[in-house]
Structure 1
Amino acid sequence: MTWKSEWIKWSTHKELPSQLKKHMNEMNETEREDAFYKQLEFGTGGMRGELGVGPNRMNIYTVRKVTAGLAAYIEENGAEAKKRGVVIAYDSRHGSEEFALEAAKTLGAYGIKSYVFEELRPTPELSFAVRYLRAYAGIMITASHNPAEYNGYKVYGEDGAQLPPTAADAIITHMNKIENELVLQVKEERELLSQNLVSYIGENLDQVYLDYVKGLQLNSDETKINLHIVYTPLHGTGQTLVPQALQNAGFQHITIVDEQKNPDPNFLTVSSPNPEEAQAFQLAIQYGKETGADLLLATDPDADRLGVAVKNNSGDYVLLTGNQTGALLLHYMLSQKQEKGILADNSVMLKTIVTSELGHAIAENYGVQTVDTLTGFKYIAEKIEEYKGDKTFQFGYEESYGYLIGDFVRDKDAVQAAVMIAEAAAYYKGQELTLYDGLIQLYETYGYYKDSLTSFTLKGKDGAEQINRIVNRFREHPPAEISGAAVEKIEDYQSGKRINLLTAQQERMDLPSSNVLKFWLQDGSWFAIRPSGTEPKVKFYFGVRQGTNVESEERLKEVKASVINAVKEI
């Protein structure tokens, strides 16, 4: 297949929608090659890409192709799997509702039933619905926190978690057998309804899910009544559940950012609907200053990630990192459970390999085991399933603003996290402290852990090649020292080896293969390199620990500068 032959195939397809035809006519040569030189990649994280025409873009035909691959996989697993069906949800992005229906229409052509949410819903509710309805799989149409020109397609297994590699590979095998996605057969909606191949779901399931979230509470005292919260769904799905979940937990002073309350696929009030970025909180901070709010909360478009801002000692709002929010949640839950005598002896906390070691220190203090997983919440969900009956899951999180408290969901859940961080804030307020005060207490107890993330965005074919060059250079020619500290250990998660450069000893790591490198320095600092599986980025993670805030900030700057300079020389 060449991009030009694919271009001809698409341009001569008589049933191509007029909007896609118009897009084809407006493309220059470079845009054509990028849109047609390959199939949009599908993996364990699903697929995600820019909206547009061509096999390397999100459109109805690429959605039909991956759904046909999923349908063939379900057929392989027998009549019972087909009967159990697939739950489908979608967010507020361009094309999301249309893509959800296209998925149902494609599944229907294989005789597979779909349970489609009647309106946009968060990703965690999709995960919950798969488990609650005992469906065989789930589909979430979302591009998470990506810019407005993106959309995506995530597939969930019967356990409510994103697919493991073996299942994803099986779907890819079936997709590769499809020679022409443009001629795949689908059933129309009226046929699906008449043949009972689609059911629409919504409010009844909302209530069940919200009841589960309410059951996570550790304290129901009156301090919640005095907490003032500002919440923004950033034009996404969070508005459907987060305010109600907070109210159910006893919070009465909840102000919604009106300008960002309603769904908007263009996300016009922000440059990016990403709660990790300060600009996404600009309106929430304005509301906070006007209302004197104690806590500012923001969820991304599919409400699986939660951003948090709190007042510092100067009374200004500061954004917490994902690592800081995760540490506060972990400490609050473990301390309260220990105080109430309900912290199980066989407890385990799960985090990813690029998440701060502060969580490990906190868990160890409470006698809770820490297990590291690869980046991606599916690996945390996989461990929850593996440990069922043997270990008591307490908390799972990753530095990228993803947290899970109750395992009735098997993906990161901003609804759960919003309720629990608000409960923690109310607890501290009852002691005349803020969440920021609580964070400083953690640093004073365990050391000043500081972490950072730097990403290089490299789009297109040339960008993908440059990302490979960067990773390969660090793998094949690793640095001997970084900012005055010798590199002590290298963990190569692709080969599964941990190498101690000072002793020349090697050991195997019990984790799946992944294109990630992690370098540990002699002073305890570390950095990791990981190409994104869903965006045209290579990500560099950094972590340090020093005795004071100033020392940690300075050490973090030094390590980052040394690594970034090495990247720029490639």
Structure 2
Amino acid sequence: MAAVPATDSAETLYAAARAWRDDDPDPTTRSELESLLASAESGDEAARADLADRFVGMLEFGTAGLRGALGAGPNRMNRSVVIRAAAGLTAYLKQEGRAGERPCVVIGFDARYNSDVFARDTAGVVVAAGGRALLLPQPLPTPVLAFAIRHLGADAGVMVTASHNPPQDNGYKVYLGDGSQIVPPADADIARHIAAVEHVADVPRAHEGWETLGERLLSDYLDAVVTVVDPSSPRDLSIVHTSLHGVGHGTVHEAFIRAGFAAPVAVDEQAVPDPDFPTVAFPNPEEKGAIDLALARAREVRCDLVIANDPDADRCAAAILDPATGDWRMLRGDEVGALLGAHLVARGVERRDVFANSIVSSRLLAAIARAAGIRHEETLTGFKWISRVEGLRYGYEEALGYCVAPDLVRDKDGVSAALLLAELAAGLKAQGRTLSDLLDDLAAEHGVHATDSFAVRVEDLGQIDTLMGRLRAEPPSSVAGIDVVRLDDLSRGDGGLPPTDGLRFLLSDDSRVIVRPSGTEPKVKVYLEVIEPVHTRDDLSRSRALAETRLASVRADVERLTAL
């Protein structure tokens, strides 16, 4: 069924809404659409605008799969959209697979609203199409699903999750048999199969016949994930952990116990999965205030380290006691990325090993790799790219995603990253040192790499095109008084990367600015980095202060340049 552009007539919009309603297998969203349609037809302009937004187009299937607000209509997450997606994926797998073989899909889900329903719908479509569907036994972290794909020899995996998005959202993340998220051209091929579905009623669905996996899978994942730490390394470490109302609590705690650490101290108010995320404004550890309860708990129990996972536990945040202030501060994703990279180097790397991070992440990891004599690769944003780097030993992106064991999970994994960070902190503690001391070491050796980011949120997606178009048509010749010496238009593939919408400005003092639209939210994201040399260890405080001053100047000017 074709979605109706918002510019079409009211009657065309209403006809499309009626057709979608009549084809909707879910009585809840069918009733929702019926009520909205009645209000719109009676002259309610707000209802008509809402209806038009729901039918502005089909929720786009891309390299992140699907993600959007729950609700009725083609531009929302609902059973009709999910069934179409499952049918398209299964058709793609049958087309790409060997003749006569049943495609096997392993399916996971988190604890968000309708995640279990969407997972069962997917299983029913796969089974009815002659495939084999393996359903995870309970809401579990995304890394468990990513692990299961190769562990079970599946042809694809589906994880029903919206990760760190707001409570009203859900999503549908697709992996292929290599355990990595889909990339072009597979995403476009699957999208074409989805578009070929005329009516949901035409999609065969089984109501039984899939296999619900037992507890053995989670145990296998845990047995595998604890191998990221050295059995002989120190374990004396006290940790506070929060899962932010997501599904990571049980898995993380069991992983720490199996690895020989003391069980983390839980933030009880956030330990039980809750799709409303009642104690946080936004269930993303990056957001201001999200880990306040964890920090308060840390002050009570006087622990060594705070670890936070996002709701599907594929990201890992950390906080440390800052010696400069005597209070806790959250580490930036780039700081954790550098710490883990340095730790892996110290444990031993081989010349064939490769470190990688996304273009929006700090260049400090590249410096660490260079000093260690190993190759470093820069990729587009997202683990769908990072995980595919040939010879990858370690990869990260600044948005709290770390792949520390690509032979186990070819995606970001907040559980294994937490274990590795804890091993590093425990080893430093045994030496009378801290993570803050190691950050000082890295700055003294490679220079202060100060990073920052901000987002320009939009009400109308057209504003994103306007902003990006303006920066392309009238690029600044300088930023904060520093000359722009190179402009990479990433949409043209500048820099040798696959084309993507984004701009990278390199300044004469080695500062860097990257502007790109978000792939999952209505906003433009801006990433900043300055590098300040450190001539002697005694210069470290001065160099940090200079770097922060330069960074603040760059940010102020870029905020002006990106204002709507």
Q: TM-score, normalised by structure 2?
A: 0.92
What residue number does 2:477 align with?
480
What residue number does 1:289 align with?
299
What residue number does 1:505 align with?
none
| Whole-angstrom CA distance in 1 between matches of 2:93 and 2:509 | 50
Deviations 1:140-181 (A, max 9, x none): 001110010100001100000001211111111111222233
Q: Specify every segment of 5 or more residues in structure 1 that has no aligned partner in the other structure, as ranges.
A: 193-197, 338-342, 498-508
Tell me whether 206-215 or 351-360 shows the greater mean CA deviation: 206-215
Aligned-pair distance for 1:301? Answer: 1.0
Contact 1:48–1:152 under 8 Å retained in 2: yes
| Whole-angstrom CA distance in 2 between matches of 1:291 and 1:81 | 59
What residue number does 2:207 align with?
189
What residue number does 1:2 align with?
4
| Whole-angstrom CA distance in 1 between matches of 2:165 and 2:333 | 17
| Whole-angstrom CA distance in 2 between matches of 1:18 and 1:48 | 20
Aligned-pair distance for 1:358? Answer: 1.0
Percent identity, please: 38
Deviations 1:47-98 (A, max 9, x none): 1000001000000000011111101101112456852410000111111011
1:469 aligns with 2:480: no
| Whole-angstrom CA distance in 2 between matches of 1:114 and 1:511 | 36
1:543 aligns with 2:532: no
Aligned-partner residue type, residue 465 of structure 1: G
Q: Where do residues 57-72 of structure 1 align in structure 2 (5 Å cutoff)?
A: 57-72=76-91
Aligned-partner residue type, residue 315 of structure 1: G
Structure 2 CA distance for partners of 1:283 and 1:20, relative to 1, 3 Å: farther
1:515 aligns with 2:510: no
What residue number does 1:405 align with?
404
Deviations 1:367-418 (A, max 9, x none): 12110000010101121xxx2xxx4x32100011000111121110001100
| Whole-angstrom CA distance in 1 between matches of 2:24 and 2:352 | 62
What residue number does 2:39 align with?
none
Aligned-partner residue type, residue 387 of structure 2: A
Structure 2 CA distance for partners of 1:344 and 1:270, relative to 1, 3 Å: same
Q: Where do residues 204-353 of structure 1 align in structure 2 (5 Å cutoff)?
A: 204-218=216-230, 220-221=232-233, 223-224=234-235, 226-313=236-323, 314-337=325-348, 343-353=349-359
Structure 2 CA distance for partners of 1:20 and 1:367, relative to 1, 3 Å: same
Structure 2 CA distance for partners of 1:82 and 1:264, relative to 1, 3 Å: farther
| Whole-angstrom CA distance in 2 between matches of 1:172 and 1:96 | 21
Contact 2:357–2:386 under 8 Å retained in 1: yes
The CA RMSD over aligned residues, in Å, is 1.7
Aligned-partner residue type, residue 280 of structure 2: V
The residue matched to 2:173 in structure 1 has which SS? strand
Aligned-partner residue type, residue 187 of structure 1: R
The residue matched to 1:513 in structure 2 has which SS? coil
Contact 2:107–2:135 under 8 Å retained in 1: yes
Aligned-pair distance for 1:24? Answer: 4.8
Aligned-partner residue type, residue 194 of structure 2: M
| Whole-angstrom CA distance in 2 between matches of 1:464 and 1:88 | 32
Deviations 1:272-326 (A, max 9, x none): 1101123111111111111111111111111110010110113311000110001
The residue matched to 2:562 in structure 1 has which SS? helix
What residue number does 2:212 align with?
200
Contact 2:25–2:80 under 8 Å retained in 1: no
Tell me whether 25-34 or 305-314 shows the greater mean CA deviation: 25-34
Tell me whether 79-88 or 109-118 shows the greater mean CA deviation: 79-88
Structure 2 CA distance for partners of 1:565 and 1:14, relative to 1, 3 Å: closer
Structure 2 CA distance for partners of 1:206 and 1:80, relative to 1, 3 Å: farther
| Whole-angstrom CA distance in 2 between matches of 1:443 and 1:259 | 37
Q: Where do residues 71-110 of structure 1 align in structure 2 (5 Å cutoff)?
A: 71-78=90-97, 83-110=102-129
Structure 2 CA distance for partners of 1:18 and 1:248, relative to 1, 3 Å: closer
Runs of 4+ deviating beyond 3 Å: 11-16, 78-82
Deviations 1:450-474 (A, max 9, x none): 1111112224xxx211001111111
Aligned-partner residue type, residue 400 of structure 1: A
The residue matched to 1:307 in structure 2 has which SS? strand
1:419 aligns with 2:419: yes
The residue matched to 1:165 in structure 2 has which SS? coil
Tell me whether 34-43 or 449-458 shows the greater mean CA deviation: 449-458
| Whole-angstrom CA distance in 2 between matches of 1:517 and 1:81 | 47
Aligned-pair distance for 1:6? Answer: 2.1
Deviations 1:463-510 (A, max 9, x none): 21100111111122211111111111111221113xxxxxxxxxxx43
| Whole-angstrom CA distance in 1 between matches of 2:524 and 2:474 | 18
Aligned-pair distance for 1:19? Answer: 4.5
Aligned-partner residue type, residue 398 of structure 2: E
Structure 2 CA distance for partners of 1:16 and 1:96, relative to 1, 3 Å: closer
Q: Specify every segment of 5 or more residues in structure 2 that has no aligned partner in the other structure, as ranges.
A: 6-12, 37-45, 534-542
Contact 2:109–2:119 under 8 Å retained in 1: yes
1:374 aligns with 2:369: no
User: Which one of the candidate residues 506, 510, 526 is aligned to 1:524?
Assistant: 510
| Whole-angstrom CA distance in 1 between matches of 2:28 and 2:375 | 57
The residue matched to 2:461 in structure 1 has which SS? helix
User: Which one of the candidate residues 557, 566, 569 is aligned to 2:561?
Assistant: 566
1:533 aligns with 2:530: no
Tell me whether 73-82 or 317-326 shows the greater mean CA deviation: 73-82
Contact 1:450–1:545 under 8 Å retained in 2: yes
The residue matched to 1:163 in structure 2 has which SS? coil
Structure 2 CA distance for partners of 1:145 and 1:491, relative to 1, 3 Å: same
| Whole-angstrom CA distance in 2 between matches of 1:241 and 1:158 | 24
| Whole-angstrom CA distance in 2 between matches of 1:321 and 1:24 | 46
Contact 1:227–1:253 under 8 Å retained in 2: no
Aligned-pair distance for 1:433? Answer: 1.8
How many residues align? The count is 534
| Whole-angstrom CA distance in 2 between matches of 1:100 and 1:106 | 10
Contact 1:544–1:552 under 8 Å retained in 2: yes
Aligned-partner residue type, residue 401 of structure 2: G
| Whole-angstrom CA distance in 1 between matches of 2:555 and 2:100 | 49
Contact 2:121–2:205 under 8 Å retained in 1: no
1:49 aligns with 2:68: yes
Contact 1:91–1:141 under 8 Å retained in 2: yes
Q: Where do residues 138-149 of structure 1 align in structure 2 (5 Å cutoff)?
A: 138-149=157-168
Tell me whether 300-309 or 171-180 shows the greater mean CA deviation: 171-180
